[in-house]
Structure 1
């Protein structure tokens, strides 16, 4: 076909992620970029409606035009956001003009009435893009929106531990700690030992240490005035992390480990590892902080 290696890889990715699902599903194909403001405004609309229509056979696929320039060129994308509906590998409608939930629902309803879409429960594999979106939104710091995404996934797949864990973490990030605890209590015992749920439980535990501004200032001052006081350092690190000051918390704990790694049966290291678990080992900040910890421990 005259394609170079990178273009062939792009085609293969598109075939697996978009073309093959479109053989039986209606795929909403969203062309976007990180720098595109209107794209970011449209994303919550696409995510919410796609989740609502999942049982009707609708899935959402996103193509970053900066990373997949060859695919964007094949669709002759001239501006973004550009949104198409695909069925059996072919564009069947241009959805770009649908910028509200009601507009998008109207257009999808019209397409679903005409096309032989296979409805029914969304297969587990189809949940992967939605779960990835939820994690991306969490990483951006928007706990409210992340909680909404994961709640929709939980409604679609009540036995999905990753969705339950994401919902709890989103609620924690949004400051809705009591709701997060309630969700944890209601999770099926069969899922309670799952790593995603354990991670969420760690996030709740750490969030309980969140102080008000005056208390945090007091703990910060005490830690600064008494650098050799391990109790003061640990109290400040716990409060700082709960208040969203990851770097301050990690720096304090790393300094404690460097000074006396065995203090209180390794409490500083245990607290740091608990923070890693709450955030997720794949997070870039965790990876960087783990390297600092390794340097201290194994130098």
Structure 2
């Protein structure tokens, strides 16, 4: 899936959002073994379709303004339908949590700054507990997005404005790649033009477009030799390495590697290969846990090899991602 205007390499479909987020995997995760009477995301899609037929005279919530949508069981199907037109950011909050009430108001202002390219909704989990159950929400505040009816986890707990803005920008890029380019007033969105990439990053991006990983790596290595603190180049190079490794594994080889990793937990090469596969498949925590577990139980050059690879995978996901922060803490405990 190509992401027009994205500064991240696009050949990996499962890396739509930074953090290897795969929309189909996320939908499965959100709907897996839902509690009794809790509406799953797929059920919500079906409800949206039938509700739309039964209530054609009813407006979609928030479709004609940038005002906050208050979600309840009655209008949730319309919100899911709206997410086919514009990404919908949803903040789950509760009266008993002052922090979640603060985040509810702060996000309203942030989303309003996108000029209708995002819709904003809130859900009181005490008034609409089925939604929290269906999405497996463990605490408030929690922010998720809906895109084409599919849930996308954003963050749990308080988020700094720069963190939420970064997530919203990534969400908009994924939306554009999936053909969702409307606004809350129904007009096509006009995204601001991104500044041009530095020459070597542009060279690397063009090389990736034709699958030339060697050329992309060479350009990024030169960029980092001159600008070692270039975080964008570091992240891009880490993705190049990951994409190159995974592409070399066919389906049969991937199954063999997984079997080898299961039967030989001390085989560093097998563990590294399965961690790559997990990350590309959207199982970020599993990939991190596998390598942290290996580091905790092994010593010598293999331990250092796994540590270096884990740090590279952190770059792929993004150093501000909460899953990376958690894995860093686990890595520190494993090492010391």
- Shorter-chain TM-score bucket reads 0.3 to 0.5
Structure with the largest fraction of helix: 1
Higher RCO (CA 8 Å, separation ≥ 6 residues): 2
State TM-score, norm by structure 1: 0.47
State TM-score, norm by structure 2: 0.42
